[in-house]
Amino acid sequence: MSTYGRAAEESAFVRTYTLTRGRTKPRHLLGLETVLEAGQGRPGPAQAEECEEILALCRERRRSVVELAGRLGRPVTAIKVLVSDLLDADALIVPLTQSYADTGAGSGPSTQLLAAVSASLKRKWPDAVTYPQAG
């Protein structure tokens, strides 16, 4: 790697470090696919400019964590830390989509939720034993 390439890489690392104020772990459990939308709160005055960019993107439409990282050209871990800050300020929320929403007291999980969980488990453990579906 050239000296210029190494310097650029170190500069990007330092920028990311200052962006998150040295934090490497978000306070909230966020997956790559976690969907976010703008909330009623506002980020604090000391927030990074990327926080305003995240909010602007989420005001347009719901966005996933990985989409935000790609659009901003930042590491996913850094975006998760910033999103955690915005969640704490109620500037972002994790919406509960209707297909996963509770449909009433005692009704149990929706079939859409069970299908989503089943699909995720099959992706995670494709060689697991499967049982015949009830009819």
**Of all residues in the chain, what percent are helix, strand and coil, respectively (each to 5)?**
50, 5, 45
Would you state the structure tokens that stand for residue 70, as one six-digit string? 């790609």
The arithmetic mean of pLDDT across residues 109-133, rounded, is 69
- State pLDDT tens for residues 50-109: 899 999 999 999 999 999 999 999 999 999 999 999 999 999 999 876 555 555 555 666
In terms of Cβ atoms closer than 10 Å to its own Cβ (0-12, 13-18, 19+), residue 5 is exposed
> What residue has token string 């659009």?
71
Reported confidence tier of residue 110, pLDDT bands at 50, 70, 90: low
**DSSP-derived 3-state class of residue 104:** coil
Q: Count CB neighbours of 126 within 10 A.
A: 8
> What would the pLDDT profile of 18-49 be if each residue is shown by its tens digit?
777 778 788 888 888 899 999 998 887 767 78
DSSP 8-state assignment for residue 98: G
Would you list the domain boundaries of the chain? Answer: 7-93
The residue type found at 41 is G
Structure tokens at 16: 């990311």
